[in-house]
Structure formats: structure tokens, C-alpha cells
Structure 1
Amino acid sequence: VAAGDVVTARENLALLLDRFAQDQAPAAALIQPLGEEQSRDWLIAFPEDGRLQGVEGHSREGRHRLCGIYVFRPEAVEYLRDNPGFMTQVPVGGMPPMEAEIAQSLQMMIDEGQPVLAVETVGYHTDLDKPWHIIEANWQVIRAMSAGLEENIIPASSRIHDGAEIEGRLVLGENTTIGNRVMIKGDLWLGEGASVTNGAILEGPVVVGPEVKIRDYCQIGGQSSLGAQGVYGHGAEFSGVALERVYCYHYCEVWGVAGQAVDFGAATVCGNLRFDDGETVWRVKGRPEIPRHAANAAYFGDFCRTGVNAIIMPGRRIGVYSCVGPGVILYEDVPDRQLVMAKQGLIKQPWGPERYGW
């Protein structure tokens, strides 16, 4: 059983299944050291000698969290069936929401003396619970892809210009193009039919989807992922994660996450350095949080648009189907389906040749 919002390394799954096959325990759970994370943000596991001794929802203590990946034998089904529908194993005053958690079934098994394996991760693992987790997971996956890359893969149908400067390994799809004056400063995965031409700079490692066009002296930051059929060019800069059909052109500067078919107006700029050199404090369901990664990145929902010269301040979120108009300096998040326009004051007065002595 795996939660649908986790990104985990294959070796984690392999180890979990191997341990489960060797042991006769009715259940096993993948766990991960908290590191810099706070225990009150997670479902906490208390392991000892490879077994779970207990779990607690958003505990005030603990060093490991449950990863949302479990394996069960048929004898564990009754505990899943008898789940009370919410997490009762919480600290005093913990206020659990009314939604079922598999962790509570694990605690029920432990309370009745059933052994539950605790298998610690050996590779990356990220829960995609918050917007910044998208960037974190992307970094982890691309780093792992680079670490496992052993050789170039260059099909006969791809074209690489002699004038391109390449300082990394290439994994190219069919009918791809790397043109003149291009600089690639790391590993590159280039999807089928994609092209990188006319002075584009890829800091690498970078993953590019099918039929993407990167051209005209634009710059793509390292550890970025670009979805299919996007267009990036004419001096634009993009770093982060973009889904399919994103349009980033004409001197844009964007760091963050862009949803499907986001249209960046010319010279849209995302600020990512604050005057206090600090990190943006987010509010998630009213609770203040400071992300460990990408707190100052910008996040654009599917199908949103920006106008010419829009300025997005650090850590802002723009909802799906929303527009940020030309010249707007955006200090606040924008909900879904909203248009934000600047209201300017105009000074009007007569003018003509007489102003020049005629």
C-alpha cells in the first residue's frame, strides 16, 4: 500500500519487500529519519530493533516518521477494516482531523501484540504535502538520475552541432537537436523531438520533455524539469519545475513551479532574494511555516497568466485560472480564478510643437 503523493527511491521499495519476505510479521512500514523536520508535522514512528514499538500522529517527540508505504499479509486485514476512521493515537490536545490513517491500524496491531516491521529508507523519499515539496522531490530524483547515469545515449536521428559546448552526459530521444552556440554545463535528458538551439544555456543537470523548444540565448537552471511542448527563449531564465506547454519568453526570470500551460508575459520577474536575506514565512491552512527548501520560490497554478512586466515577490502563489496583469507588483497570494490589475494614476496636459518654441 503506497500513498499517492509520495516520491521514493526504488531501493527503498526493494529493501521493504525483501525484509517483509524474510520475516513472518503481518505488516511492515517504511520509515525515515526526520532530519531537520519537526515531529509535530508528521505521523511519527517509534522503532526499536527493526520493529515498531508505537506510532503517534504529529507527536511532540520522535526521530522517525512514517513514509506512507506499507506491506500487509492477509491476517492484517481485520485491523484495516476496524480502523476507527481517524487517528486516536495523538498527543493530549492533538486535535486529529476526521479522516482515516493506516497508522492507527498499525497501532491497533501493536496494542494486541502483533509485530510490525520498521524498515528505514536507504534512498530519497519525499511526501508531496506542500508546494515546496515538488521542488525538493525534483532535486532528489534528478540527483539520483545523474548518479546512476553511466554513458551517453545518442540515437542516430539526433543532431548535435559542432559549435555546441557540452560538459556533461547526454540522454537524447529520437529526432532531437542541439544547435550552434549552445552551452550545456551538466547532464541532459532531452525528450523526443525536443530542441536546444541558438545560444541557449543549460546549467545542468536538466530534464527536458518531448517537443520542448529551448532557444535564443535563454538560460535553464540546474536541476530543472521542463514538461512536454514548452517554449523557452529570447533571453528568458527559468529554474524549477514546469509542467507541459509552459510559455516562458522575452526576458522572463522565473524560479519555482509552473503548472500546465502557464503563459508568462514578457519580462515577468520573480524575486527570490529578500532584503533581510531571510526565508518567506508561509501560511498553510492558517499555520505559519518556513519551508526548508524553496521558501522564496514562486508557484503558478495550471492555466494562469501574467502580463508584461509583472513582478512576483518571493514566495507568492498564483491560483489556477488566475491572471496577474501588466506592471503589477504582487505582494500577496492570488486565489484561483482571479484577475489582479494595477490601478495607476495618470497626469494629462497639453503638449505639442509649441513646447519646443514653434
Structure 2
Amino acid sequence: MDTAIILSAGKGSKMWPYAQIRPKSLISISNKPILIHQIELLKGAGFKHILVAVNQHEQAYRYALRNVEDVEIIQVGETEGNAQSLFLCLKKIECQRFLVMYGDIWLEKPDFDRFLKASKGSSALLLKHQETSRNYIGCNLHPDGTIKEIIGHSRSETSHHFLAFTLEQDIIPFLTKVSPIFPSVEVGMMPPDEVFLEAALVDWMDKGKKLEGLVCNLPAFDLDKPWHILQANYQNNEDICAQIKENVLNEGAEIDPSAMIDGFVRLGRNSKIGKNVIIEGNVWVGDHTEIKAGAILKGNNVIGDHCEIGYYCYIEAGSTIGHRCKVLHAAELSGVIFDGVYLYHYMEIAGIVGENTDIGAGTVCGSLRFDDSLSDQKVKSRREKVEGQDFANACYIGDYARTGVNAILLPGVKTGARSIVGPGVILSEDLGDGKIILLKQNTVIKDWGPEKYGW
């Protein structure tokens, strides 16, 4: 088996506001796009022919893969669902057996290699549900490890959902005749008009076929919603930084003797740790980045290339800083900032900040509510319960956005791509794409002078 198909043609609407300017599979985890990570896994396992099924953002894929060989982008257009996308890709190739992977999953290499080694026929790589089973097309397993049943968004608790498959030619007829409404749902559940690969597998299994299941042992992520980006970054940063067993200084890198480092650092080419920096734990730093002037890093941080970090800023444990970012002058960050983000002048950011976003002086993202409870997150107009203050109460700021001086974002709010939260605004509800919210101020002007003081 040397052919793999990555299904990446979905709209990613649940990931708002981060799938507006890019597809979900090009969102970065620890500064590496999901798709690039998947391709590296596939090539490392010996796959020679990799197809990526796309629809929107085709040029973004071509740009991201411009230096990657042996990957073919297949424009499938506006299909009726991923079953049809897969079928259109299979028309381009001839192979008896192939791997299918969803474009929004993050796997560890040991699990992926174990799956390929264990798979002899048709099989599925499974992840235990991260959230309620109502959020997934899920499955349950027989004691022998085969898939017992597949149910769409079950209220009665399926246990796992699908990340990848090894399939054979006998699935193809089922892809062409898949039900337009998911065939296996509980009464009262309302499936959309969409043809799913799992629906084809329901029909295929009804004909007596067996699908083996293998469950991930290591942390894996199905990145569907904004807080999944935070979860994956925290876990992956911990894994990356745990691999640093001693200081690693690449060409031109240096550490000032006054820096206090309780752990180890990996510095890329020409990167520097300057005077009075405090690092507690391990930190991975890219090329041409300078950390200086009393910056405080709590560890398990991954920092990109061409960044400037300093002047008594504070970086919370597990946070990720993208490429070409500035975090300066008493800025506090807990979470993830994408490429080209500027944070400085007394601010507190908790959550995610999208690409090329300029955060105004004194902007504050609140993460602790007065009632100490967790905020509901709104996804496609549906309120969802999210576990953990770091995720439920985080703020999610879109790409190419801005905030004005002293803007306040209350726990759990989101702002869309190319949006602006104006000076002094207290944002308590999500702000859509391409919107600006401004504060209307009532003022009073009166005469004033020495006579007010008895002169």
C-alpha cells in the first residue's frame, strides 16, 4: 500500500473564525500546519502517492505545498460530501488498497505506524470521543476489535470516532450509491443532506463486511472547533519540549550569562536569549528570534522564526508564538498567537489571536468570571459546553483583525476575520467577519477656570 488520500474539501464552518482565510488543514499546531504534519507521517511510512482532495482555498494549498514533492492536489469542487470527494480522487488512480485520512486530524507517529502495521485488510483508526457523542459520527466495538455499529451523532453514547481508514476496491461501488441522508441515526436526530464516507461503510458492513478498529494510545486530536487548537498546541508543545534533554544552540545562537534558565532551551540559527530573561522549564525557539530584557517564560513554549520577545512580557506555560511576532512591554500571553501578531503595551491575552492581527495597547481578554463558572461557546448558533477554563473562557480573535486602546473582551467571546473591536469597547457577544464595533460616547463640556478655586 503506497497511496494515501487526504480528505480536505470541507468548509470547516465549526472552526470559525479560523477557517475563513485558510482551510482547517492548514491551521498550525506548534507552528506546523496540520497537513504538513500528515504528509510527513505518510512519507515517513513509505507512501509514494499522496492526493489531497480540496475545494475552497485551492491556491492556499498550492502555496503551502509549493516546496513539497509527490503530493497531488485534486480539485473536487462543491461535492455532496466526503464520500463523493473520495470517489472523485479514486477515479484518478489505480490501486487495490489505499489509506484515507481526514485533513483535520493530528496523530502521533507511533500510533500511525502501529495502525499501518496492524492493518491487514479494511480497518479504521479510532479516537475516543473528546466530547459528547452527539458531536460525532461515532462507533462501538465488538470485544474482538471489529466495528460493531456506526451511528451518527448518537445521544446514547457511542465510544469512538474515525480518524483514518485503510480500504480496498470493494468500497468503491458503495461510494457511488451512498445514502444522501445518514442511514444510521436515532429517532429525532436530524442528519443533514450530505453523503458521508461512514454512511457508505454502514451499507458495506450490512453486506457482511468486517471493519477492524484500532484505538490511538497516545494523544490525538480531531480539530473541529477553535478550542481544539488550544488543546492540541498545549499537548504538542509539552511533547516537543520534553524531547529537549540539554541546551541545543544552532549556528550563531547564544545565551547571555545573566539569563536564569531552570530547564533547557533549543535555539535556532542566530537566535539569542538576552539579559535578565527568566525561563522556567524547556523552550523550543526557531531561527533569528531574540528573547531579551527581562522576558519571563514559564516553559513548554514553542516560538517561531524572526520573533522579538522582551521588555518584561510574560508567556504562560504551554503557549505558542508564531513566526514574525512581537511580544513586548509588559504584554501577557496565555494561549496561541499565529504568524505576524503584535502584542505590547500592557495587555493580557488569553486564547487565540489570528494571523497578522494588531492588538491595541491595554487590550484585556478576561478569563475568570465573577461566578467562577465556564462560558458556553457558540458554534454555528448552537451553544456548547466546554470543559476547562482555559478553553471555555478563552477569547478567540480572528485573522487580520485589530483592537483599539483599552478594549475588553469578556470570557469566551470570538471576533471574526478582518474585524475591529474599537477603543474602550467591552465586547460581550461574538463579533462577525468584516465588522467594526465602536463605542458611542456621551460627553459634557462646561466652562472651567480659576474662579472654580476661589480666585
CA distance in 2 between counterparts of 1:129 and 1:16 reads 22
Question: Residue type matched to 1:39 in 2?
Answer: S
Kindly indicate whether residue 106 of structure 2 is the aligned counterpart of residue 7 of structure 1.
yes
Question: Residue type matched to 1:355 in 2?
Answer: K
Q: Is the contact made by 2:339 and 2:355 (CA closer than 8 Å) also made in structure 1?
A: yes
Kindly indicate whether residue 210 of structure 2 is the aligned counterpart of residue 115 of structure 1.
yes
Identify unmatched segments of 5+ residues in structure 2.
1-99
Once the two structures are TM-superposed, the CA of residue 63 in structure 1 deviates from its matched residue by 4.3
Once the two structures are TM-superposed, the CA of residue 110 in structure 1 deviates from its matched residue by 1.2
> Which one of 141, 146, 152 corresponds to residue 236 of structure 2?
141
1:303 aligned residue? 400
Greater RCO (CA < 8 Å, at least 6 residues apart): 2
Q: TM-score, normalised by structure 2?
A: 0.75
Q: How many residues align?
A: 353
After superposition, residues 213-292 of structure 1 pair within 5 angstroms as 213-292=308-387
> Which one of 293, 299, 306 corresponds to residue 204 of structure 1?
299
- Kindly tell me: are residues 86 and 226 of structure 1, through their superposed partners in 2, closer, same or farther at Cα, counting changes over 3 Å? farther
Note the aligned Cα RMSD (angstroms).
1.5
Where 2:229 maps in the other structure, the secondary structure is helix
Q: Is the contact made by 1:29 and 1:66 (CA closer than 8 Å) also made in structure 2?
A: no
CA distance in 1 between counterparts of 2:163 and 2:176 reads 18
After superposition, residues 175-214 of structure 1 pair within 5 angstroms as 175-214=270-309
Q: Is the contact made by 1:45 and 1:62 (CA closer than 8 Å) also made in structure 2?
A: no
Where 2:165 maps in the other structure, the secondary structure is strand
Q: Identity of aligned pairs, percent? A: 38
Q: Is the contact made by 2:138 and 2:162 (CA closer than 8 Å) also made in structure 1?
A: no
Q: Is the contact made by 1:181 and 1:200 (CA closer than 8 Å) also made in structure 2?
A: yes
Once the two structures are TM-superposed, the CA of residue 82 in structure 1 deviates from its matched residue by 2.9
1:18 aligned residue? 117
Q: TM-score, normalised by structure 1?
A: 0.95
CA distance in 2 between counterparts of 1:122 and 1:180 reads 42
CA distance in 2 between counterparts of 1:10 and 1:86 reads 35
Once the two structures are TM-superposed, the CA of residue 64 in structure 1 deviates from its matched residue by 2.0
Kindly indicate whether residue 260 of structure 2 is the aligned counterpart of residue 161 of structure 1.
no
Question: Residue type matched to 2:263 in 1?
Answer: G
CA distance in 1 between counterparts of 2:247 and 2:339 reads 25
Once the two structures are TM-superposed, the CA of residue 152 in structure 1 deviates from its matched residue by 3.1
Where 1:175 maps in the other structure, the secondary structure is coil
Once the two structures are TM-superposed, the CA of residue 251 in structure 1 deviates from its matched residue by 0.5
1:95 aligned residue? 190
Kindly indicate whether residue 165 of structure 2 is the aligned counterpart of residue 70 of structure 1.
yes
Question: Residue type matched to 1:16 in 2?
Answer: F
CA distance in 2 between counterparts of 1:314 and 1:323 reads 17
Where 2:199 maps in the other structure, the secondary structure is helix
More helix by share: 2
CA distance in 2 between counterparts of 1:34 and 1:257 reads 23
Once the two structures are TM-superposed, the CA of residue 40 in structure 1 deviates from its matched residue by 1.2
2:151 aligned residue? 56
